[in-house]
Structure 1
Amino acid sequence: MHEATEPAEAKGWQDFANCLGVDPDLFFPERGASTREAKEVCKGCVVREDCLEYALANGEKFGIWGGLSERERRRIRRQRALARRSALEVEAGGDAGGASATA
Protein backbone atom coordinates (compact mmCIF):
# COMPACT_ATOMS: atom_id res chain seq x y z
CA MET A 1 0.00 0.00 0.00
CA HIS A 2 1.35 3.44 -0.99
CA GLU A 3 1.04 6.10 1.69
CA ALA A 4 -0.19 9.43 0.25
CA THR A 5 1.44 11.69 2.83
CA GLU A 6 5.04 11.85 3.99
CA PRO A 7 6.14 12.60 7.53
CA ALA A 8 7.35 16.21 7.90
CA GLU A 9 10.94 15.11 8.59
CA ALA A 10 11.07 13.30 5.23
CA LYS A 11 10.24 16.48 3.31
CA GLY A 12 12.96 18.47 1.62
CA TRP A 13 13.41 22.22 1.77
CA GLN A 14 11.61 22.53 -1.57
CA ASP A 15 8.36 21.45 0.09
CA PHE A 16 8.41 24.64 2.19
CA ALA A 17 9.29 27.10 -0.58
CA ASN A 18 7.09 30.09 -1.43
CA CYS A 19 7.42 29.15 -5.10
CA LEU A 20 5.83 25.74 -4.65
CA GLY A 21 3.01 25.61 -7.19
CA VAL A 22 4.03 28.86 -8.92
CA ASP A 23 4.60 28.74 -12.69
CA PRO A 24 8.32 27.91 -13.12
CA ASP A 25 8.51 30.21 -16.16
CA LEU A 26 8.31 33.13 -13.73
CA PHE A 27 11.75 32.14 -12.38
CA PHE A 28 13.31 31.71 -15.82
CA PRO A 29 12.50 34.98 -17.58
CA GLU A 30 13.60 35.69 -21.14
CA ARG A 31 16.88 37.56 -21.49
CA GLY A 32 16.35 41.20 -20.58
CA ALA A 33 12.94 40.57 -18.99
CA SER A 34 12.20 41.69 -15.44
CA THR A 35 13.08 39.43 -12.51
CA ARG A 36 11.10 41.58 -10.06
CA GLU A 37 8.06 39.29 -9.79
CA ALA A 38 10.16 36.19 -9.17
CA LYS A 39 12.23 37.98 -6.55
CA GLU A 40 9.01 39.13 -4.84
CA VAL A 41 7.95 35.48 -4.48
CA CYS A 42 11.34 34.73 -2.89
CA LYS A 43 11.10 37.63 -0.44
CA GLY A 44 10.35 36.29 3.02
CA CYS A 45 10.63 32.65 1.95
CA VAL A 46 11.68 30.48 4.89
CA VAL A 47 13.95 28.32 2.70
CA ARG A 48 15.46 31.12 0.62
CA GLU A 49 18.95 30.44 1.97
CA ASP A 50 18.64 26.69 1.26
CA CYS A 51 17.52 27.46 -2.28
CA LEU A 52 20.44 29.83 -2.85
CA GLU A 53 22.96 27.35 -1.46
CA TYR A 54 21.50 24.60 -3.66
CA ALA A 55 21.95 26.80 -6.74
CA LEU A 56 25.51 27.74 -5.76
CA ALA A 57 26.50 24.15 -4.98
CA ASN A 58 25.00 22.85 -8.22
CA GLY A 59 26.21 25.62 -10.51
CA GLU A 60 22.73 26.66 -11.61
CA LYS A 61 23.37 29.00 -14.52
CA PHE A 62 19.84 30.13 -15.25
CA GLY A 63 16.87 31.49 -13.37
CA ILE A 64 16.17 33.06 -10.03
CA TRP A 65 17.29 30.92 -7.08
CA GLY A 66 17.14 32.10 -3.48
CA GLY A 67 16.00 35.47 -4.75
CA LEU A 68 19.15 36.07 -6.82
CA SER A 69 19.87 36.13 -10.55
CA GLU A 70 22.75 34.26 -12.16
CA ARG A 71 24.82 37.46 -12.23
CA GLU A 72 24.26 37.94 -8.48
CA ARG A 73 25.11 34.28 -7.76
CA ARG A 74 28.24 34.55 -9.90
CA ARG A 75 29.38 37.47 -7.72
CA ILE A 76 28.89 35.34 -4.57
CA ARG A 77 30.82 32.42 -6.08
CA ARG A 78 33.67 34.78 -7.00
CA GLN A 79 33.72 36.31 -3.49
CA ARG A 80 33.74 32.88 -1.87
CA ALA A 81 36.55 31.67 -4.14
CA LEU A 82 38.64 34.72 -3.22
CA ALA A 83 37.94 34.16 0.47
CA ARG A 84 38.98 30.49 0.21
CA ARG A 85 42.14 31.45 -1.66
CA SER A 86 43.00 34.08 0.95
CA ALA A 87 42.35 31.61 3.78
CA LEU A 88 44.62 29.03 2.14
CA GLU A 89 47.37 31.63 1.69
CA VAL A 90 47.08 32.69 5.34
CA GLU A 91 47.11 29.05 6.41
CA ALA A 92 50.16 28.29 4.26
CA GLY A 93 51.91 31.42 5.51
CA GLY A 94 50.99 30.57 9.10
CA ASP A 95 52.53 27.10 8.80
CA ALA A 96 55.78 28.47 7.41
CA GLY A 97 55.87 31.30 9.94
CA GLY A 98 55.07 28.95 12.81
CA ALA A 99 57.87 26.58 11.84
CA SER A 100 60.49 29.33 11.70
CA ALA A 101 59.30 30.88 14.95
CA THR A 102 59.91 27.65 16.87
CA ALA A 103 63.29 26.88 15.27
Structure 2
Amino acid sequence: MIERFSRSGTLPAMHTDTLTPPDLTWQEEALCAQTGGDFFFPEPGSSVREAKRICGMCPIRATCLEYALTNDMRFGVWGGLSEKERLELRRTGRP
Protein backbone atom coordinates (compact mmCIF):
# COMPACT_ATOMS: atom_id res chain seq x y z
CA MET A 1 0.00 0.00 0.00
CA ILE A 2 1.32 3.45 -0.89
CA GLU A 3 0.23 6.53 0.97
CA ARG A 4 0.09 9.88 -0.74
CA PHE A 5 -0.04 12.96 1.45
CA SER A 6 -1.84 16.08 0.37
CA ARG A 7 -2.87 19.24 2.17
CA SER A 8 -6.51 19.76 2.94
CA GLY A 9 -7.92 23.06 1.75
CA THR A 10 -9.42 24.00 5.12
CA LEU A 11 -7.57 21.91 7.66
CA PRO A 12 -3.98 22.54 8.64
CA ALA A 13 -3.52 18.79 9.23
CA MET A 14 -2.50 16.32 6.54
CA HIS A 15 -4.79 13.61 5.21
CA THR A 16 -3.94 10.51 3.25
CA ASP A 17 -5.28 8.95 0.10
CA THR A 18 -4.57 5.27 -0.34
CA LEU A 19 -3.26 4.00 -3.66
CA THR A 20 -3.53 0.27 -4.17
CA PRO A 21 -0.77 -1.30 -6.26
CA PRO A 22 -1.94 -3.46 -9.19
CA ASP A 23 -2.51 -7.17 -8.64
CA LEU A 24 0.45 -8.86 -10.32
CA THR A 25 -0.21 -12.44 -9.19
CA TRP A 26 -0.93 -13.33 -12.83
CA GLN A 27 2.80 -12.98 -13.49
CA GLU A 28 3.46 -16.11 -11.44
CA GLU A 29 1.62 -18.15 -14.10
CA ALA A 30 3.41 -16.53 -17.02
CA LEU A 31 5.79 -18.67 -19.05
CA CYS A 32 8.28 -15.79 -19.14
CA ALA A 33 8.59 -16.02 -15.35
CA GLN A 34 9.78 -19.59 -15.82
CA THR A 35 12.22 -18.89 -18.66
CA GLY A 36 13.97 -15.69 -17.60
CA GLY A 37 13.87 -12.15 -18.92
CA ASP A 38 16.70 -12.29 -21.46
CA PHE A 39 14.38 -13.30 -24.30
CA PHE A 40 11.83 -10.62 -23.43
CA PHE A 41 14.20 -7.68 -23.04
CA PRO A 42 16.75 -8.23 -25.82
CA GLU A 43 19.49 -5.84 -26.82
CA PRO A 44 18.42 -3.25 -29.43
CA GLY A 45 18.32 -4.81 -32.87
CA SER A 46 18.19 -8.37 -31.52
CA SER A 47 15.49 -10.82 -32.50
CA VAL A 48 12.32 -11.15 -30.44
CA ARG A 49 11.31 -14.34 -32.26
CA GLU A 50 11.97 -16.64 -29.28
CA ALA A 51 10.07 -14.36 -26.90
CA LYS A 52 7.08 -14.30 -29.25
CA ARG A 53 7.18 -18.09 -29.55
CA ILE A 54 7.06 -18.44 -25.76
CA CYS A 55 4.29 -15.84 -25.51
CA GLY A 56 2.30 -17.73 -28.12
CA MET A 57 2.11 -20.73 -25.76
CA CYS A 58 1.39 -18.68 -22.62
CA PRO A 59 -2.09 -19.10 -21.09
CA ILE A 60 -2.16 -15.52 -19.79
CA ARG A 61 -0.91 -13.73 -22.87
CA ALA A 62 -4.01 -11.49 -23.10
CA THR A 63 -3.68 -10.40 -19.46
CA CYS A 64 -0.02 -9.58 -20.03
CA LEU A 65 -0.79 -7.50 -23.11
CA GLU A 66 -3.58 -5.66 -21.32
CA TYR A 67 -1.21 -4.87 -18.44
CA ALA A 68 1.46 -3.58 -20.85
CA LEU A 69 -1.00 -1.34 -22.69
CA THR A 70 -2.66 -0.04 -19.51
CA ASN A 71 0.68 0.73 -17.85
CA ASP A 72 2.44 2.04 -20.97
CA MET A 73 5.25 -0.52 -20.86
CA ARG A 74 7.70 0.80 -23.43
CA PHE A 75 10.40 -1.86 -23.39
CA GLY A 76 10.45 -5.57 -24.03
CA VAL A 77 7.98 -8.10 -25.35
CA TRP A 78 4.66 -8.14 -23.48
CA GLY A 79 1.69 -10.27 -24.47
CA GLY A 80 3.48 -11.40 -27.60
CA LEU A 81 4.01 -7.89 -29.00
CA SER A 82 7.21 -5.88 -29.31
CA GLU A 83 7.52 -2.21 -28.39
CA LYS A 84 6.83 -1.15 -31.98
CA GLU A 85 3.82 -3.43 -32.28
CA ARG A 86 2.29 -2.12 -29.04
CA LEU A 87 2.84 1.46 -30.21
CA GLU A 88 1.10 0.64 -33.50
CA LEU A 89 -1.76 -1.00 -31.58
CA ARG A 90 -2.20 2.14 -29.49
CA ARG A 91 -2.20 4.35 -32.58
CA THR A 92 -4.47 2.33 -34.84
CA GLY A 93 -6.26 -0.05 -32.52
CA ARG A 94 -4.82 -3.11 -34.28
CA PRO A 95 -1.41 -4.81 -34.39
Using structure 1 for the length normalisation, give the TM-score.
0.63
The higher-RCO structure (CA 8 Å, 6+ apart) is 1
- The question of 1:66 aligning with 2:79 is answered yes
Distance 1:11 1:23, change over 3 A: closer
Structure 1 moving runs of 4+ over 3 Å: none
Post-superposition CA distance 1:38-78 (Å, at most 9, x none): 11110121100000010001111100000100100001111
After superposition, the CA RMSD in angstroms is 1.7
Match of 2:54 in 1: 41
The answer to which structure has the higher strand fraction is 2
5+ residue gaps, structure 1: 1-9, 81-103
Aligned residue pairs total 71
Highest CA radius of gyration, 1 or 2? 1
For residue 27 of structure 1, the aligned residue among 40, 64, 69 is: 40
TM-score of the two chains, using structure 2 as the length reference = 0.68
Q: Per the alignment, in what secondary structure is the counterpart of residue 42 of structure 2?
A: coil
Identity of aligned residues (%): 52
Structure 2: 5+ residue runs without aligned partners? Answer: 1-22
Q: Distance in 1 between matches of 2:58 and 2:65?
A: 11
Give the C-alpha shift of residue 24 in structure 1. Answer: 0.7
